[in-house]
Chains A and B, each alone.
Chain A
């Protein structure tokens, strides 16, 4: 079955790096995503990684994938107060024909000045 877990809360100071972690159980995961949700809003796709990659960098964002340990992380460099939000990792798997997004529990990131 599919199960995606995240730590619930992360607090950092402005200018520091943030690392948000995610673990998943389905070994057939093919695409893994990071979404950002601000209060009362929908989800914004930040980045995604294909499971045959182990790293992807996009400006301040770095995604690391350890397929052996089924561990995904999102590093935000030079974190700003505007980065405060809930971050969800999500996966699609071969089992569902890549149709279904399974979301993690979400990590609330609080950035203090």
Chain B
């Protein structure tokens, strides 16, 4: 299967600072990338959908100024958590859909963010 690499896998930051998470499709071009948030023992909640070269579409209740998404190329999307607070601590997962298909999406390994 296709490989999606997410970096970093774990990050601890101080309250008030910003954190950037990268999501790369290593062996395919991804026209669409998705960012999810997962709370402990819960399901994945879609935060936003980003298409290369255009603005991300955010789900209801997700603050676009707090969670900045950039999808500058067909292989890279970034999520920046700005002015992080302890309640932003969570597991963030990206997924990428290859250009060739509208049926499959491949997931990164996730990033555990802890804000202290």
Contacts and interface: CB of A to CB of B under 8 A. Distances in A.
A104 B103 contact: no
Interface residues of B, number: 22
Interface of B: 1, 4, 6, 32, 34, 42-44, 46, 49, 93, 95, 102-110, 112
28 contacts: A31-B103, A41-B109, A41-B110, A42-B6, A42-B109, A42-B110, A43-B95, A43-B107, A44-B107, A45-B1, A45-B104, A45-B106, A45-B107, A88-B44, A98-B102, A98-B103, A99-B32, A100-B34, A100-B49, A101-B34, A101-B46, A101-B95, A102-B46, A103-B43, A105-B42, A105-B43, A106-B42, A106-B43
B6 A101 contact: no
Residue from B4, B43, B103, B106 having most chain A Cβ neighbours under 10 A: B43
B108 A101 contact: no
Nearest to A88: B43
A23 to B, nearest CB: 14
Interface of B is mostly: strand
Interface residues of A, number: 20
Interface string A24-35: 000000010001
Contacts of A88: 43-44
Contacts of B110: 40-42
Nearest to A102: B46
Nearest to B45: A103
Given A88-B43, A101-B46, 14 more contacts: A41-B109, A42-B4, A42-B6, A42-B109, A43-B107, A45-B1, A45-B105, A88-B44, A92-B103, A98-B103, A100-B46, A101-B95, A102-B46, A104-B43
